[in-house]
Structure 1
Amino acid sequence: MARPHIEPFVDRDVDFKRMTLPGFPKGMKYKMLSLDTDTGACSMTVRFESGYRQPPGMSYSEMELFILSGSVQYGDKVYGKGNYFFVPAGVSMPAMSSPRGAEGLMFYNYGEPSFLESDEDHPRALRDQLIMVDAYEGLQWKVANFVNPSVAPGCMVKMLRSDPQTHAHSLLYCMTPNYWQDNISYHDCAEESYHIWGTSSMMQFGNLPTGGYFWRPAWINHGAFASELGVLGFGRTDSILHNYFHFNPWSTPDENRERSAAQLRRNKPNLYKWIRSPDGHNHPHDFEFPAYDYANEDGQAGAGTADLYVHDHGDGEAHAHERSSRKGGAKGRRR
């Protein structure tokens, strides 16, 4: 999810464009909120025009959809505003229509938007991870203590999805009227947010109104912030969320990254020492999730051959390790 820092952006300031990618039926429009130009992964505001129809089909990427207004119909069931869908790659969804039109937020997580007509799942699709939930009526607000340290009191969340491997999550959040937090925060993950309703004020970036959006990469300072009348928003991260709080508005992303590493060294010294081995070759192996053994900077499986992981350590000398299929933690041989 390598995307540039976008903050603030207001989708009301731009017009919808027609979706013209292969496979998508006519009658769908979009506003691009953020885009990974390497993979095509993106976040969009979308509009389905009245009478829109889409046959049964699937995507080659994970897709998330949150209905902002109007309604869509999958099969014989109608889903109105507040409904959230997480559709794993390769999972076939029933025919979809929108007789009166709808608008929503749509996210493609690991590849460009795609639609392939099909009434069957891909053989490797993870249908058990499909999520369809009415976030407004079907879930209760909870305090935001899934993160520790947590934000100031007055911010509530509804967790919509948490990735079982990376702990990337999608959620609804709200700020109560007169909410404020006086410290500064950054994270070691990317974070994005869309204001469904309401305005918040951020010291570094100004006001973010209804329709406001940001994509904030790791290590970026944000805060202090406040909201006079409250906010309802939709938020996502690309891995587990941790709040690094401080009170230095002038620290740089590099300094924030070094501070985080220093905290890891203090809190988990044995893990830190193993990771920063003298020759830089302690590559993790997870017998439970081997696809993440040799992750690249975006958190995805390495792009080498099926048997070798090719990379360098910034010295211009590429080398390779054998990919391990063992159930233990032994390292592959360096070549």
Structure 2
Amino acid sequence: MTGSTPDQASMSRPRVEFLRLDGMSLTPSAAPAFGHGLRAAVLSAQPGDPGARSLLVRAEPYWCSHDSGVLENDLEILLLEGDLRLGDCEFARGSYAFLPRGLAVAGAETRRGFAALWMGEGRAGLSQDSNPAVAYVEERRTGPLDVNAQAWQPVPDFPGRTSEEAGSGLKVRRLRSDPDTGAYTLMTRQAPGWCDPRLESHETWEELVLLQGDYLMGETGMITSGSYIFRPGEKPHGPQATRGGCVWFCRGEKEIDFRFTEPEWSAPRCREYLAQPAPEPQPQFWGNWS
């Protein structure tokens, strides 16, 4: 985990399976560490202070902050609705950015308000130190970019799972990959009727937000758009299926690997789920992401 001490990096966050983001209680919070007036809910957090944490953050129309400084730790943002200017970074709905520690930021504002996934490695605030302990590395920065303008690609081979195994119904948008650690941020799209009857586990932790559609997530059952999961490494999960298709936002701390098991109950569970009619098209929590 970039931006964390060795002791912090060895500790994962507790499992969160699952939260409904439309049911979260947002409270006035200094956790985003930018000015005043933001409301936030903690989705998951690493033990210790300051530990890595993920927030759902909201701002009202015409919110602004005149604070300036440099980012104390790496910060990832996915704007779910509205608009945001953070220093020289302009976000619209569907914008994603990975902003490295040491980035200079001069003020922030919104005209229409915003809702965002706000994912920081430690306290993702501003330091007034003109000579920060960690120099800014421009090559680590990604975006802001419009995720919906990125092409869907076939899933590549990963350790333990080939592209052929994943099937043609699974596509990916890779938003970011760290060349040193393998840490990744990406989106996946599963076509209607896609399924994998196996249980899978990974060495990396996974952070997942279902942006669109329906999904059978193993013993958890059916979830729909607006669902959040944080799963530490080595936690088997599955089987997985979607009737109407879906889009996920996904993060991990290292390149993902796959290990599979297939208990007797998992394939019948998928068949039972897929045998039901596809859900009627519904307004998605944050619109269309496909």
Scaled to the shorter chain, the TM-score interval is 0.7 to 0.9
Q: What is the CA-CA distance between 1:180 and the residue it aligns to?
A: 1.1
**Range with bigger deviation, 24-33 or 80-89:** 24-33
CA distance in 1, matches of 2:95, 2:132: 22
**Where do 1:267-306 residues align within 5 Å?**
none
Per-residue deviation, residues 271-311 of structure 1 (Å, max 9, x unmatched): xxxxxxxxxxxxxxxxxxxxxxxxxxxxxxxxxxxxxxxxx
CA distance in 1, matches of 2:55, 2:144: 20
The one of 129, 132, 140 equivalent to 2:151 is 140
Asked whether 1:233 is paired with 2:245, we answer no
Instruction: Give the paired residue count.
Output: 249
- Which stretches of structure 1, 4 residues or longer, exceed 4 Å deviation after superposition? 74-78, 117-123
CA distance in 2, matches of 1:209, 1:186: 22
Structure 1 counterpart SS, 2:58: strand
CA distance in 1, matches of 2:215, 2:150: 24
Q: What is the CA-CA distance between 1:7 and the residue it aligns to?
A: 0.7
Asked whether 1:25 is paired with 2:35, we answer yes
The equivalent residue for 2:13 is: 3
Give the partner amino acid of 1:234: F
Structure 2 counterpart SS, 1:193: strand
Query: Normalized against structure 1, the TM-score is what?
Result: 0.68
Structure 2 counterpart SS, 1:147: coil
Whichever of the two has the greater Rg, that structure is 1
The equivalent residue for 1:181 is: 196
CA distance in 2, matches of 1:116, 1:28: 19
Distance change in 2, residues 1:76/1:14 (3 Å): closer
The equivalent residue for 1:202 is: 217
The equivalent residue for 2:83 is: 71
**Where do 1:74-223 residues align within 5 Å?**
74=86, 78-109=90-121, 111-116=122-127, 124-148=135-159, 149-150=161-162, 151-223=166-238
Is contact 1:92-1:118 (8 Å) kept? no
Asked whether 1:49 is paired with 2:60, we answer yes
Is contact 2:71-2:105 (8 Å) kept? no
Structure 2 counterpart SS, 1:86: strand
Distance change in 2, residues 1:91/1:180 (3 Å): same
Structure 2 counterpart SS, 1:95: strand
Is contact 2:43-2:54 (8 Å) kept? yes
CA distance in 1, matches of 2:21, 2:90: 26
Structure 2 counterpart SS, 1:27: coil
Distance change in 2, residues 1:141/1:133 (3 Å): farther
Distance change in 2, residues 1:139/1:2 (3 Å): same
Q: What is the CA-CA distance between 1:41 and the residue it aligns to?
A: 0.8
Is contact 2:32-2:118 (8 Å) kept? no
Structure 1 vs Structure 2 CA RMSD: 2.4
CA distance in 2, matches of 1:74, 1:22: 12
Unaligned runs of at least 5 residues, structure 1:
251-335
Give the partner amino acid of 1:161: R
The equivalent residue for 1:301 is: none
Q: What is the CA-CA distance between 1:23 and the residue it aligns to?
A: 4.9
Q: What is the CA-CA distance between 1:80 and the residue it aligns to?
A: 1.0
The one of the two structures with greater contact order (alpha-carbon pairs below 8 A, sep at least 6) is: 2
Distance change in 2, residues 1:234/1:125 (3 Å): same
Give the partner amino acid of 2:257: H
Residue identity over aligned pairs, in percent, reads 24
Per-residue deviation, residues 98-126 of structure 1 (Å, max 9, x unmatched): 111011111012x1332335788766121
Is contact 1:91-1:121 (8 Å) kept? no
Distance change in 2, residues 1:3/1:113 (3 Å): same
Query: Normalized against structure 2, the TM-score is what?
Result: 0.78
